[in-house]
């Protein structure tokens, strides 16, 4: 017979088990509900980007062209008479003055010719004086019929002939004096003289093709460079539209970069542009001149000229890293709108200014361009813009890049 305790506990165990199951189910439902409303990760934040507000500023338009220097005046020293060189009267590589004697050619035969011309002229002058006296006397006698008319006419003809002989002999004397002077070969211009092609004892002639030496005036130097006619037309259009203003009243200022990359201390200027376009290369020749007081510049030296062609007082620039290009060459920047949302903005950027691009269309003053953190900024996303210092506070220089692709605006 079952005990009293077992009989009492068996019926009560089932209700207690049911209550426990119901409690577990309720707890599970509550946890599931809480799980649906709980966040899956850390709270979302607005990405921060660095922006640069567009402020138009002054940019000097530069073009860099290369070429070789040449002396402003070059004179090849050549003999004008034939003879043996007796002396060389200069030091190779030195400065010579205009008219300085460089070579002495043997003058013996030319001196003799000159002396002979002097004697011939003296004789002719004496003959002319005698003919003048005779003609004067016959003129008086012809009035009283002391001489025939024929004799008087012959005396006048002899006088005219004597006068003509004097003119001819004076010309011969002048020619002899010139040839005698040519035995002293002088410097036609002032400048630095190069090496001599002859030594003492050499025979030189007036028709020889080899110069005895070359004198070059190097106090100023020419630099001839070329640029494309298309680039020249673009520049003229920018001046005509007012986008560029002339850099100086005397034309473009030119700065020189030496072969080792250092800047030449003396600025030059653009003298002129050729009026003809080369049919082969499609380029125009520009001539610049540079002062050379210390003789640093030498003829034939390869240099680069940087021309300050014009000034744009309202240029818009952005860092080159802020500009992206598509496969077709079109350029764009990422900007922040008034609502702090990201916008992809097409621009035209075809000219470099240091580490920046000059934007000719697509941006205006006050626009905010993202310069840092653009990888976190998706188009249309909300961002937190933080102003960064502008990189172009001072007047900049623009180097025209002819090979840059112009982007669509």
For residues 391 and 313, which has the higher predicted lDDT (pLDDT)?
A: 313
User: Could you give the C-alpha distances from 239 to 78, 297, 300, in angstroms and in order?
Assistant: 48, 33, 33
Domain boundary among 312, 332, 359: 312
Question: What is the per-residue pLDDT for 237?
Answer: 73
Residue 30 lies in a domain: no
pLDDT grade, residue 309 (50/70/90)? low
In a domain, 23, yes or no: no
pLDDT of 157 strictly over 90: yes
Structural domain total, the chain: 4
Question: Mean pLDDT, to the nearest integer, of 264-293?
Answer: 85
The answer to whether residue 348 is domain-embedded is yes
Nearest Cα neighbor of 190 from 225, 211, 216 is: 216
Asked if residue 202 and residue 230 are part of one domain, the reply reads no
pLDDT band at 393 (very low <50, low <70, confident <90, very high): very low
**Residue 223 pLDDT class (50, 70, 90 cuts):** very high
Per the domain annotation, does 307 fall within a domain?
Answer: yes
| Statement to judge: residues 227 and 306 lie in one domain | yes
Question: What CATH number does residue 118 fall under?
Answer: 1.10.287
Are residue 189 and residue 169 in the same domain, yes or no?
no
Establish if 34 belongs to a structural domain.
Answer: no
Q: How many CB atoms lie within 10 A of CB 46?
A: 10
- Asked, for residue 388, whether it belongs to a domain, the answer is yes
* For the chain, percent of residues with pLDDT exceeding 90: 41
* CATH number of the CATH domain containing 392: 2.40.420.20
Question: What whole-number distance in Å separates Cα of residue 94 and Cα of residue 344?
Answer: 66
In this prediction, residues 364-374 reach a mean pLDDT of: 86
Specify the pLDDT at position 375: 79
Quick one: 66 and 95 in the same domain?
Answer: no
Same domain, 164 and 152: yes
Q: Which residue from 311, 300, 336, 333 is spatially nearest to 222, judged by alpha carbons?
A: 300
- Asked if 335 and 368 count as a contact pair (C-beta separation under 8 A), the reply is yes
What pLDDT is stored for residue 185 in this prediction?
96
Query: 84 with 206, same domain?
Result: yes
Mean pLDDT over each residue of the chain, to the nearest integer: 82
Q: How does pLDDT run across 161-194, given as a tens digit for each residue? A: 999 999 999 999 999 999 999 999 999 999 999 9
Select the highest-mean-pLDDT range: 77-86, 311-320, 348-357, 371-380. 77-86
Question: Of 293, 312, 331, which marks where a domain is finished?
Answer: 312
The least confident of 144-153, 229-238, 247-256, 334-343 is 247-256
Domain hosting 259: range is 62-71+218-312
pLDDT value for 10: 46
**Span 244-262, average pLDDT:** 72
**Tens of pLDDT, residues 313-343:** 888 888 888 888 888 888 998 998 888 888 8
- Is residue 230 situated within a structural domain? yes
More confident residue, 114 or 333: 114
Question: Would you say residue 293 lies in a domain?
Answer: yes
Domain co-membership, 120 together with 67: no
Burial class (CB in 10 A: 0-12, 13-18, 19+), 295: exposed
CATH of the domain at 275: 2.40.30.170
Tell me the pLDDT tens digit for each residue of 122-146. 999 999 999 999 999 998 898 888 8
Same-domain check for residues 191 and 100: yes
Q: Are 122 and 233 in the same domain? A: no
302 and 324 co-located in one domain = no
279 and 191 assigned to the same domain: no
* 306 pLDDT tier (thresholds 50, 70, 90): confident
pLDDT at 238: 64
Same domain, 278 and 339: no
Mind listing the pLDDT tens digit for each residue in 42-74? 555 788 888 888 888 888 777 788 999 999 999
Q: Give the rounded percent of residues in the chain with a pLDDT score beyond 70.
A: 80
The Cα 219–Cα 289 span in angstroms is: 11
The CATH code of the domain that includes 96 is 2.40.50.100
């Amino acid at each position: 017979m079952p005990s009293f305790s077992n009989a009492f506990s068996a019926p009560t165990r089932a209700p207690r088990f049911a209550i426990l199951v119901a409690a577990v189910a309720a707890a599970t439902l509550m946890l599931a509900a809480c799980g649906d409303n709980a966040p899956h990760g850390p709270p979302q934040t607005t990405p921060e980007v660095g922006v640069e507000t567009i402020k138009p500023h002054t940019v000097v338009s530069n073009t860099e062209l290369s070429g070789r220097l040449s002396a402003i005046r070059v004179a090849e020293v050549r003999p004008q008479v034939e003879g043996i060189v007796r002396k060389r009267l200069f030091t190779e590589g030195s400065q010579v003055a205009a008219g300085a004697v460089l070579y002495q050619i043997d003058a013996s035969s030319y001196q003799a010719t000159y002396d002979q011309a002097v004697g011939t002229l003296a004789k002719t002058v004496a003959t002319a004086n005698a003919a003048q006296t005779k003609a004067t006397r016959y003129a008086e006698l012809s009035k009283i019929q002391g001489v025939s008319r024929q004799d008087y006419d012959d005396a006048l003809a002899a006088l005219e002939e004597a006068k003509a002989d004097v003119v001819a002999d004076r010309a011969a004397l002048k020619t002899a004096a010139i040839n005698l002077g040519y035995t002293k070969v002088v410097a036609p211009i002032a400048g630095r003289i190069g090496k001599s092609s002859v030594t003492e004892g050499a025979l030189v002639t007036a028709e020889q093709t080899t110069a005895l030496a070359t004198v070059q005036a190097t106090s100023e130097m020419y630099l001839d460079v070329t640029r494309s006619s298309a680039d020249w037309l673009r520049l003229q259009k920018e001046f005509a539209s007012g986008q560029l203003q002339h850099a100086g009243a005397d034309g473009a200022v030119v700065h020189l970069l030496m072969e080792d990359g250092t800047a030449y201390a003396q600025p030059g200027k653009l003298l002129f542009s050729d009026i003809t376009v080369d049919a082969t290369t499609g380029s125009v020749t520009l001539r610049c001149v540079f002062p050379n007081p210390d003789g640093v510049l030498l003829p034939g030296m390869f240099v680069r000229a940087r021309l300050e062609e014009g000034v744009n007082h309202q240029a818009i620039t952005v860092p080159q890293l802020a500009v992206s290009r598509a496969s077709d060459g079109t350029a764009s920047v990422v900007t922040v709108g008034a609502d702090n949302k990201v916008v992809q903005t097409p621009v035209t950027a075809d000219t470099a200014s240091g580490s920046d691009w000059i934007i000719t269309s697509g941006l205006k003053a006050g626009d905010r361009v993202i310069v840092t953190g653009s990888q976190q900024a998706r188009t249309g996303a909300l961002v937190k813009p933080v102003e960064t210092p502008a990189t172009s506070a001072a007047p900049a220089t623009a180097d025209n890049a002819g090979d840059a692709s112009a982007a669509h605006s």
